[in-house]
């Protein structure tokens, strides 16, 4: 036995990702006395600026946006009771195909070994029992999400740690309900083209391929408030349009695929720390 607390480390790409994908588990496990460590890889400088100004438009200052998003991230962490926030502060690479993908200093251009070495140092310091990040496609193909998966995988190989490792995902049944809700609340959203619809249909996994279903319904209000803390990105955070009650009904479970385990805990499981306590 050890006095070291059980520790969850979530590795995310941008400010606000922590709330979208893992806000429920961060809040739940913090409430259970587990140490929660958030690593945010980029500065979020490709996000919207004040008034919704987009990257590349007049008035968009990536440095000012990054500072604003750092403050929002700290507020979100306070809501979720995150124990420790670590920022790697790479430049936000932007969406697939943006010129910022290849800008000097962007996370996407950073050698995996370099980013992994920095993350491995944090892993050795915090010694997480559970590590959560994205799948190999970054859930939906975002360059920075893919890079977060790559450096997390490489960092674990650089250490002697054997945590349970999970990738965030979503059940296809929930994605269908989510699509219906988007249409309900976003009547001004243009119809996607067939190729886009086909790509959306591939996001997430069939329900029977998901290993881990964590009930976070008790903490859905905190998750909503954490998303709301990222006020500058409100235009992009569709969930805020639902209101807390509808949000809680739709987003009360967070789902994962377990990709590494030494505990022998059976799946499906309902706890990231199954087999560890």
Interval 36-53 mean pLDDT: 94
pLDDT at 266 over 50: yes
pLDDT at 188 over 80: no
CA distance linking residue 148 with residue 68, whole number of Å: 22
Interval 17-33 mean pLDDT: 96
**Tens of pLDDT along 139-168?**
888 999 999 999 999 999 999 999 999 999
> How many Cα atoms occupy the beta-carbon half-sphere of 171 within 13 Å?
17
pLDDT at 237 over 90: no
Helix residue ranges per DSSP H, the chain = 17-31, 62-80, 112-126, 138-141, 143-158, 172-185, 194-201, 220-229, 244-250
Give SS3 for 241: helix
pLDDT at 1: 46
Least confident of 110-119, 162-171, 232-241: 232-241
Tell me which residue of 261, 251, 275 sits closest to 171, measured CA to CA. 251
pLDDT at 89 over 90: yes
Please say whether the beta carbons of 148 and 12 come within 8 A. yes
* Integer Rg of the chain from CA: 18
Cis before residue 268, ω within 30 degrees of 0? yes
CA distance linking residue 176 with residue 158, whole number of Å: 39
Give SS3 for 265: coil
Task: Please state the pTM of the whole predicted model.
Answer: 0.91
Interval 230-247 mean pLDDT: 82
Share of the chain above pLDDT 90, in %: 72
pLDDT at 135: 95
pLDDT at 73 over 80: yes
CA distance linking residue 27 with residue 135, whole number of Å: 22
pLDDT at 179: 63
pLDDT at 251: 86
pLDDT at 181: 65
pLDDT at 248: 86
Interval 246-259 mean pLDDT: 91
pLDDT at 197 over 60: no
CA distance linking residue 188 with residue 2, whole number of Å: 55
CA distance linking residue 254 with residue 252, whole number of Å: 7
pLDDT at 121 over 70: yes
Least confident of 74-78, 156-160, 235-239: 235-239
pLDDT at 172: 80
pLDDT at 113: 98
pLDDT at 173: 78
Interval 99-104 mean pLDDT: 92
Interval 217-222 mean pLDDT: 96
Mean pLDDT of the chain: 90
């Amino acid at each position: 036995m050890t006095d070291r607390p059980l520790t969850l480390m979530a590795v995310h790409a941008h400010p606000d990702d922590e709330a979208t994908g893992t806000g429920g588990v961060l809040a739940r496990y913090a409430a259970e006395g587990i140490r929660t460590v958030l690593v945010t890889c980029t500065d979020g400088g490709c996000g919207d600026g004040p008034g919704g100004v987009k990257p590349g438009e007049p008035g968009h200052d990536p440095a000012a946006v990054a500072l604003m998003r750092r403050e929002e991230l700290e507020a979100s962490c306070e809501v979720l009771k995150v124990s420790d926030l670590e920022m790697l502060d790479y430049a936000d690479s932007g969406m697939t195909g943006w010129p910022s993908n290849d800008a000097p200093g962007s996370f996407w251009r950073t050698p995996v070994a370099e980013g992994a070495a920095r993350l491995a140092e944090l892993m050795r310091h915090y010694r997480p029992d559970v590590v959560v990040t994205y799948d190999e496609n970054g859930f939906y193909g975002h360059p920075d999400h893919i890079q977060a998966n790559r450096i997390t995988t490489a960092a674990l190989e650089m250490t002697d740690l054997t945590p349970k490792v999970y990738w965030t995902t979503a059940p296809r049944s929930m994605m269908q309900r989510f699509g219906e809700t988007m249409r309900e609340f976003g009547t001004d959203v243009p119809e996607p083209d067939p190729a886009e619809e086909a790509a959306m249909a591939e996001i997430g996994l069939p329900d029977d391929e998901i290993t881990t279903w964590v009930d976070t319904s008790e903490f859905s209000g905190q998750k909503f408030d954490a998303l709301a803390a990222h006020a500058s990105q409100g235009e992009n955070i569709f969930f805020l349009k639902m209101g807390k009650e509808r949000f809680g009904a739709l987003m009360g479970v967070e789902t994962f695929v377990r990709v590494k385990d030494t505990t022998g805990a059976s799946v499906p499981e309902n706890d990231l720390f199954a087999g560890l306590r």
